[in-house]
Amino acid sequence: MGCIDNDKGETRIIEVPEHNILYTDGESNEEQSPESNGSAEPQASQESSREQAEADSDIVEDPNRAMVRKLIAEHENSHSEFKSSARWNYKKNGQDAAMELAVVKTVAGFLNAKGGTLLIGVDDDGQVLGLDNDYKITPKGNKDGFELWLSNTFMSCLGKTESLGLQTSFAAIDGKDICLVEVQPSSKP
């Protein structure tokens, strides 16, 4: 299953059992495999195919994916910063409050400068690490829990007004989630 936003701002959930679906202007163009019976109901034998389709988000275009790849290709600069994790220290192999502080400081720096984009789940060399370790140590243990934790952290450290200028989204690269935090410059330092 995957989501796709159309130009009207509507989100559609689609099933991707044994074939690929491409939506254009609200129309569906299907390429069915020979095994597909064309049924709208998923079959038990199609369960692993659905799971693979969910893991391989290249089937449904993610608008953030191209942006993440471009930022990684351009490397870190005055408008983009990479953090391997928001909470997990890969060197210590465990949770580390210093990692959390580094994320907050990066966002504060962007707020005080000209804005920028923070990628969480990408190391300094541009290697995609993903967020699985961060997910494991958030209250819900998943992407929603991580996003809630991140939002609450920014709110408590930076304040409500500054946190409203942050836009958090996710993209899947090579089957791994990356968190994008887009920061608009603050009107006051």
Model pLDDT, residue 43: 44
What single DSSP character describes residue 7? T
CA 117 to chain centre: 13
The answer on pLDDT for 5 being more than 80 is: no
On whether the CB atoms of residues 106 and 99 are closer than 8 A, the answer is: no
Pairing status of strand 80-83 against strand 116-120: parallel
Model pLDDT, residue 48: 44
Long-range contacts of 58-64 (CB under 8 A, 24+ apart): 59/2, 59/16, 59/20, 59/21, 60/2, 60/3, 60/4, 60/14, 60/16, 61/4, 62/171, 62/172, 63/5, 64/169, 64/170, 64/171, 64/180
Model pLDDT, residue 64: 82
For 151, residues 6+ apart whose C-beta sits below 8 A from its C-beta are 163, 168
The answer on pLDDT for 73 being more than 70 is: yes
pLDDT tens-digit profile of 75-88?
989 899 999 999 99
Q: Is 159 exposed, middle or buried (0-12, 13-18, 19+ CB in 10 A)?
A: exposed
